[in-house]
Structure 1
Amino acid sequence: MEKYDWMQAIKTNILILKIVGLWPDSEDYKFDFYALHASVWLSTLLVASTFFQGINIIFILDDVKALTGTAYVLLTEILAVIKTYFVVKNMKMLKHLMQSLNNNKLFQPRSHEQIKLIQPSLKFWKLLYNLFHSLVGGATLFWILFPIVDKKEKRLPFLGWYIVDTKVSPYYEIVYGFQFCSCCYMSALIINIDTLIAALNVYIGNQIDILCNNLRNLKAGCSIERDLITCIKHHQEILNFVQYANKFYRWIILLQFFVSAVSIGITMFQLTIVVPLSSEFYSFLFYANSIISQIFMYCWFGNEVQTKVSLLKNKFTLWCFFQSNKIPQAIFESGWTDFPLKTKKDLVFLLMKTREPIKVSAFNLFSLSLDTFMRVKDILLLHNTVKICFRF
């Protein structure tokens, strides 16, 4: 069977990361033209933009409306800087993970049936990618356009401190263009880093589906021992992949949830004080929805990893009943009754290894699951608390 290219599904994602400077051709950054390209864009459109808006916080501490209107954007930009740092720092690890998908024979589908088996989750990832792209793009568009639509003289999309008078031409146009470019650049970074992390979890779920299919097709015969050992090795390789993937993005997930909680609270507060149905109102609305879709994307695919291998824990949840315990169920659906005694003992060993669920988490503080996402509704209540606090 022809070798399956796992990178094909995320080729657009990889292309954009390469354009913004976060995907070198080699395993890591070297002293070449691409490293120069990446350093220029990152230092100019990411770090410098965040610095100018961060310094401006000092001058607006007494203005509550301006402070809250700037804080959520600044937090997002700081998080983008941190995400970029961890991606660059762990680039070799990330490249190793991606290469192992194509180079490791255990990760390759063995039949067209298995290729069809993994397609739904990849298509759903693509759907969420487009949705997230639309929401972030909508928020970016309204951020950029609302000073023009509102027709306020010499107003910038974002408050910032600059060494020139931004109310005087041509400095106003130059700074406006700089903020436009930096906003688009950061949006591209955030979208494609987050969706790449989601794609890693999709691939983990795909490997579990392939392993389950291989286990179901185990039949008694001269090659049963070899096939079972291959399945055990495949399971171990999946665990190794999860370990490295979790090590790559654990800090990103932890900080993402913290920033999302604060940003949603501030955004909800801002929605109560801006003019309804104005361009600024729509920018906050798109931003809030993009954060919720961002958290959903993390939690959904993290939940997929967990439910495909975990034992049934919630006896009252019908959905979990059909999704949980996939690997032990696949073993049970094989022809194990006709296996030799030694093979049955190996099956018991594999069952013991799958007792504990594979969890995607942030330093084991919380796991990415639908239960975690449902708790976002508690975060949405923060806007009432923030509103009351600022009144006093």
Structure 2
Amino acid sequence: MNILMFTFKVLTICGCWLPISWTSRYKRIIYHVYTISIIFLTNTFMLSQLMDIVFTVNNTDDFTDNFYVMLAMFVSCCKMFSLLKNRNNIAMLINILMEKPCKPIEHDEIEIRQKFDKFVQTNTLYYAILVELTCAFALTTSYFRDYRKQRLAFRAWLPFNYSSPMLFQIAFLHQFTSLIIGSILHIACDSLICGLLVHICSQIEILECHLRKVVNKPHFLRECVTQHIYISKFAFMVNQKFKLTITIQFIVSTLVVCFNLYQMTQTSMLSAKYIQIVLYMLCMLIQISFYCWYGNEVKLKSQQLISNAFEIEWFTLDHNMQKNLLMIMTRSTIPIQLSSALVIPMNLESFVGLLKTSYSAYNILQQMRD
């Protein structure tokens, strides 16, 4: 796997991508057992919080304490099922990027791909550091605040009495492990989808590089037409395969930002819980901004293709080549637009709209409480 290598390592850690070197039957069985264990941990943690809302919660403060964490775990479970379901589709998308006409051939094209792939790796690393620091802060403060008082890190309904030391330690370890795994699942899925969006931008830039060479290498133009068609199809496939995941992420992000705003107004600014909420809010905003930012970049890059095509020395080309170039430019008049639920466009306007919707929902929640 020559692209998104760091992302696929994260996918392997969270049980969603079998290592290529593990070809023996026994290693495959071990990894499948590992995957099932990950599914069990994340889903049981999410269900314990859901059951707490159903059976135990009886006021607004308890509900908000539970709900935002439950939503994050719910999305992580959805992302894992999406990744497992789309393993063949993910391999197919990567193969498209690795084969002609999308495969870079010349040195300058390879440099473009490496530049974008390094950009994805750097962003994924910084995002992973932020998410894991947030989890580490939450679990460390919980250890000193709750563990010594025989309280769980997060509200949960369990089908057994965990008052005994051994059962309490098992329950606390279950929450600790599940939260870490859930955070890694978020990193894996977000970095994969955003990485694919970045590589769409990479393909458009490689196409522009091809177009600048058609004057001296006329045979490139036919390849450019084919490559442009493949880029559009590739973007459509990415949107189709992950549309449910992106939709759930948008809905949950709106709810989480709303409930985090509410919690921040009810918590002292000097407390560890306030810092935890702020860090969690930051992670959520960065998470959804990635989708909107890179979706917006794909749209801008595809629109910019027309201007770059105009810069070519048209009059030196024969009539057929001019027709092929016009074909690319005509297609580019309709930019590549990725969307959530095939309705809400993934761009910066949608990100601002999400913030406004969250704030409106927060005001409604405040009025209900008052």
What TM-score do the two structures reach when normalised by structure 1? 0.86
Q: Does 1:136 align with 2:114?
A: no
Listed as ranges, the matches of 1:173-252 within 5 Å are 173-219=169-215, 225-252=218-245
| Aligned pairs for 1:1-392 within 5 A | 7-25=1-19, 32-34=28-30, 36-102=32-98, 104-150=99-145, 153-219=149-215, 225-310=218-303, 326-382=304-360, 384-392=362-370
- Give the counterpart letter for 2:94 in structure 1: M
1:308 partner SS: helix
* Deviation for aligned residue 1:303: 1.0
Distance 1:99 1:25, change over 3 A: farther
Tell me how far 1:229 sits from its aligned partner: 0.8
Deviation at 1:387, TM superposition (A): 4.5
Give 1:234 deviation, angstroms: 0.7
Q: Find the aligned partners of 1:97 and 1:270 in 2 and give their Cα distance.
A: 41
Whether the 8 Å contact between 2:339 and 2:345 is mirrored in structure 1 is yes
Question: d(CA) in 1 for partners of 2:354 and 2:284?
Answer: 11
Unaligned runs of 5+ in 2: 21-25
Whole-Å Cα distance in 2 between the matches of residues 198 and 128 of structure 1? 10
The residue type equivalent to 2:340 in the other structure is A
Cα deviation for residue 63 of structure 1 reads 2.4
Amino acid at match of 2:12: K
In structure 1, C-alpha distance between the alignment counterparts of 2:367 and 2:248, rounded to whole Å: 24
Is residue 218–residue 335 contact of structure 1 (8 Å, CA) maintained in 2? no
State how far apart, in whole Å, the 1-side matches of 2:76 and 2:114 are. Answer: 30
- Aligned residue pair count: 366
Aligned-pair distance for 1:279? 2.1
Distance 1:11 1:277, change over 3 A: farther
1:14-34 Cα distance to aligned partner (Å, 9 max, x none): 1121122101357xxx99415
Distance 1:332 1:34 in 2: 56
Calculate the aligned-residue CA RMSD, in Å.
2.4
Measure, in 1, the Cα distance between the counterparts of 2:358 and 2:122: 25
Residue pair 1:264, 1:379 contacting (<8 A) in 2 also: no
1:262 Cα deviation from its structure 2 partner: 0.3
Moved over 4 A (4+): none
| Other structure's SS at 1:375 match | helix
Which amino acid letter does the alignment assign opposite residue 336 of structure 2? Answer: I
Report what 2:23 is aligned to.
none
TM-score, normalised via structure 2 length: 0.91
**Which string of whole-angstrom CA distances, capped at 9 and with x for unpartnered residues, describes residues 199-224 of structure 1?**
0001100000000111011115xxx5
Residue segments in structure 1 that go unaligned for 5+ positions in a row: 1-6, 311-325
